[in-house]
A = this chain, B = another copy of it.
């Protein structure tokens, strides 16, 4: 599912179902908004986006939908320091680069590198999740 993918409402619902998420119009709208524009928006930004197509949706529902999507692994929650949580629909294993200008970029992480990181831990550690965040300056256009 690349950034350019355009999903018909039907297939959107199917994707949700297949991941154990009961498809409601709110969940579809929220998910769609993340697929359409991959800028790692906050809950507030998602709220602003979805209001245009679903003007009666509430912020609480946006939080609910995002939680459900994250719990069912359709979306990743990304945190930088104490900033509001950002949401990411890129399911490939990847790191995040947090630009000083505020942009958040996906950084591909080959399995090889992930394994290297996992090897830093003693064997009797059970790793559920590895998170890699870069901070710095990214060139203007990328």
Contacts and interface: CB of A to CB of B under 8 A. Distances in A.
Contact of A133 (B125, B130, B135, B142): B130
Interface residues of A, number: 34
Given A79-B79, A81-B77, A133-B130, A139 B124 contact: yes
A136 B97 CA distance: 23
Nearest to A129: B135
Given A113-B117, A132-B132, 7 more contacts: A95-B117, A97-B121, A117-B132, A126-B137, A128-B135, A128-B136, A131-B134
Interface of A: 77, 79, 81-82, 85, 95, 97, 100, 107-109, 113, 116-117, 120-122, 124-139, 142
